[in-house]
Structure 1
Amino acid sequence: MSEAGYQARRFCLPHIELAACCYGPEEGIPVLALHGWLDNAASFARLAPLLPGLRIVALDFAGHGHSAHRAPGASYQLWDYALDALLVAEQLAWQRFAVLGHSMGAIVSVMLAAAMPERISRLALIDGLLPFTAEAEQAPAKLGEALRAQLALAAKRKPVYADAQQAVRARMQGVGAVSREAASLLVERGLQAVPGGYTWRSDSRLTLPSPLRLSRAQALAFARAVQCPARLLLAEGGLLQAQPDIAERLQGLPVEVQRLPGGHHLHLDDQAGALAVAHSLGPFLLAAADR
């Protein structure tokens, strides 16, 4: 166990090597934790220690944190992450396991649970549920946008920060703004030293537009196909709550919704938010032992 309270582990998959932070006893209820876009496994650094009885394996998604980047020409689509998560579960010999997902990680969790219902025992979602969607008539323009961005990628350069605190300030103001403490945790795992200072470890391709998006009907079909118990924590100041049609999208879905105060990273921003999330999701995930 490290000073940070987790065990570091690496998974050598057939196509990529992924890093993870592991919390709790090895005999605990198995939980795979999936972070959000441009975050890393440190997203669960506050929450995981508050969830006793669980064996939490918090992954760095491919291209994030300490995980390897995908090979040239490979993609970072949601279904690619779902396969990676499933292959990690295979290496862990987890035939059935719960998934704890935040933001993009929650979206991947829903898709995995819908596609592989025999493998997922519980679905715990933090301010994330459905991907951004586009309809059929938008597909050619979306692909063109993505192809042009791919061609322009070689000329793009990552920002270089003179010190880590500059990166912390930048992360505080990024998409899904976070507290200083949360940004510090994410930055500590997300930076690497380069000439002149520090830059992000993450793959530059992660910021490219998606070449193809699910339609609204397809996205809802995944959510409706979830068969295991599912709980969504909706942050009152989060990104989901800001969507004008969120109430309509949630209607009729097999997901229990609880609203909590806080922003998009409520589980990481401060200890009070992490405790509130743990109070809700701890008993919910422990109940997976009864199934």
Structure 2
Amino acid sequence: MSLPFEEVRLRLPHIELAAHLYGPADGQPVIALHGWLDNAASFARLAPRLPGLRIVALDFAGHGHSDHRPPGASYAIWDYVHDVLQVAEQFGWQRFSLLGHSMGAIVSVLLAGALPERVERLALIDGLIPYTGEADTAPQKLAEALKAQMALAGKRKPVYAEFERAVQARMRGTAAVSRDAAELLAQRGLMPVPGGYTWRTDSRLTLPSPLRLTQAHAMAFVHSLQCPVSLLLAEQGILVAQPHLAELLSGLPIDLTHLPGGHHLHLDDEAGAQLVADCFNPFLRSS
């Protein structure tokens, strides 16, 4: 039986990234971007339900099978934006749509706000802007980040004696997922080591950000969007729990849809994936 995707490696000028390709080569171009500590398997249920699209589901740098950034480098959110732009260049796409979940949605908004001429449509799942920080907290945040960075060398990744234990740990992660979703993410996210399995992800991904955009900075990107935007809010997700969400979204030209499910509603089960597909199929395929 043939797989619904093709596994590829993309050699960019500065890094090599892994990706899953879905759909016909002449389909409408879409780059799919997963959330923090997830991988391309995040779209394993959704992408096959979006026919007619050429979907490049990336492993972000430091995630899944993609390369880690070199020693001394960091994982600033805007560096992911640059990566995505380089992926579009590799495929020769001057205009393309972005399908983003969580952190992937944030990266999508930053890119579309900075270079609106490149992005056709934004399909966002439970994510919009990054966590923000105001000027008065900047010294404290930088201090926390520096201390965490200095302590990182003494930390070790967890090793799970059995694959099943890793799946259970992923189910209980910061954003809890279903067992099926955890298995899909773990199959791509784990690697064998002496004593069992550990995560492929770069340990630096868990470091706190040394600098955050202010609320005004973040919203400037949202206000710079020129393409149609569809934002799906999970009823048990992380966006609905944020204070002042209604005020933040008020007056924005964003099509909002509330759907049942958690933060990973597009991956947790088949029913959730179909609900998301039903929203995004007419949106992404409209001319």
CA deviation map 1:157-182 (0-9, x unaligned)? 00000111101000000011000000
Q: CA deviation at 1:280?
A: 0.2
Counterpart position of 2:169 = 170
Letter in 1 for 2:224: A
Q: CA deviation at 1:244?
A: 2.2
Structure-1 separation of matches of 2:246 and 2:41 = 30
Q: Secondary structure at the match of 1:64?
A: coil
CA deviation map 1:102-161 (0-9, x unaligned)? 000000000000001010000000000010000001111111110111100100100000
TM-score normalised by length of structure 2: 0.99
Counterpart position of 1:88 = 87
Q: Secondary structure at the match of 2:116?
A: coil
Structure-1 separation of matches of 2:243 and 2:137 = 21
Q: CA deviation at 1:281?
A: 0.5
Counterpart position of 1:141 = 140
Counterpart position of 1:248 = 247
Structure-2 separation of matches of 1:252 and 1:224 = 10
Letter in 2 for 1:107: I
Runs of 4 or more, structure 1, over 2 Å off, are none
Counterpart position of 2:57 = 58
Unaligned 5+ runs, structure 2: none
Q: CA deviation at 1:3?
A: 4.4
- Given that 1:172 and 1:180 are in contact with CA atoms closer than 8 Å, whether structure 2 keeps it comes out as yes
What is the total number of aligned residue pairs between the two structures? Answer: 287
Structure-1 separation of matches of 2:171 and 2:248 = 29
Matched, 1:9 2:25: no
Structure-1 separation of matches of 2:162 and 2:245 = 39
Structure-2 separation of matches of 1:201 and 1:3 = 26
Q: CA deviation at 1:254?
A: 2.3
CA deviation map 1:211-233 (0-9, x unaligned)? 00000111111111110000000
CA deviation map 1:180-206 (0-9, x unaligned)? 000000000000000000000000000
Structure-2 separation of matches of 1:253 and 1:150 = 38
Superposition pairs of residues 233-272 of structure 1, within 5 angstroms = 233-272=232-271
Structure-2 separation of matches of 1:62 and 1:168 = 22
Q: Secondary structure at the match of 2:197?
A: strand
CA deviation map 1:220-265 (0-9, x unaligned)? 1111111000000000010001112111111122211110000000
Q: 1:245 to 1:284 in 2, by over 3 A?
A: same
- Superposed CA RMSD: 0.8
Counterpart position of 1:222 = 221
- Identical-residue share of aligned pairs (%): 68
Letter in 1 for 2:28: I
- Given that 1:29 and 1:54 are in contact with CA atoms closer than 8 Å, whether structure 2 keeps it comes out as yes
Unaligned 5+ runs, structure 1: none
Q: Secondary structure at the match of 2:68?
A: coil
Structure-1 separation of matches of 2:146 and 2:37 = 21
Q: Secondary structure at the match of 1:118?
A: helix
- Given that 1:223 and 1:254 are in contact with CA atoms closer than 8 Å, whether structure 2 keeps it comes out as no
Structure-1 separation of matches of 2:241 and 2:235 = 9
Counterpart position of 1:196 = 195
- Given that 1:63 and 1:206 are in contact with CA atoms closer than 8 Å, whether structure 2 keeps it comes out as yes
Q: Secondary structure at the match of 2:169?
A: helix
Letter in 2 for 1:202: T
Structure-1 separation of matches of 2:191 and 2:129 = 32
Structure-2 separation of matches of 1:130 and 1:256 = 16
Structure-2 separation of matches of 1:246 and 1:171 = 28
Counterpart position of 1:109 = 108
Q: CA deviation at 1:4?
A: 3.7
Matched, 1:231 2:234: no
Counterpart position of 2:124 = 125
Counterpart position of 1:97 = 96
Counterpart position of 1:71 = 70
TM-score normalised by length of structure 1: 0.97
Structure-2 separation of matches of 1:186 and 1:246 = 29
